[in-house]
Amino acid sequence: MKIVVLHGPNLNLLGSREPALYGRQTLAEVEALLAERARELGVELEARQSNSEGELVTWLQAAQEDAAGIIINPGGYSHTSVAIRDAIAAIGVPTVEVHLTNPAAREWFRQTDLVAGACRGTVAGFGAVGYVMALERLVELASGG
């Protein structure tokens, strides 16, 4: 079973970007935590990061070929990207949106989420553990749970 993990804009700056808000874990450390849990579950994990909306859409479309599920943190694109939302809706692969912080508890412009409506679910506000929560649920769904 393969799960694709897509990290959106500015997530490559984790660890140095607003550490009071996002913490000091780097993206590599977040991915290592997720990879460890994937190994325990016997799941293949493919993780990618891009600051480009078009590249994220291309990766979403490619995932329909062999992914049992997708974990996406679209970052700021959550609030602006009809293209990412439409790609998720079009491919039919169960997708969970993850946010390290809780956008609903932040600035007004972060409280609109265009992507969430196309996803199976959303995990927000639990830091890096949110990725693990999403992985566990997608594996459960893919296994018939």
69-80-139 Cα angle (round to 5)? 10
pTM of the model: 0.93
Catalytic residue among 7, 22, 77, 131: 22
Catalytic residue among 7, 77, 79, 99: 99
Active site residue 99: yes
Q: Homologous superfamily of 2-142 in CATH?
A: Dehydroquinase, class II (3.40.50.9100)
pLDDT tens for 54-92 read: 999 999 999 999 999 999 999 999 999 999 999 999 999
Instruction: Report the b/e string of 61-87 with b at 16+ CB within 10 A.
Output: eebeeebbbbbbbbbebbbebeebbeb
Active site residue 77: no
Range scoring the smallest mean pLDDT among 17-31, 89-103, 108-122: 17-31
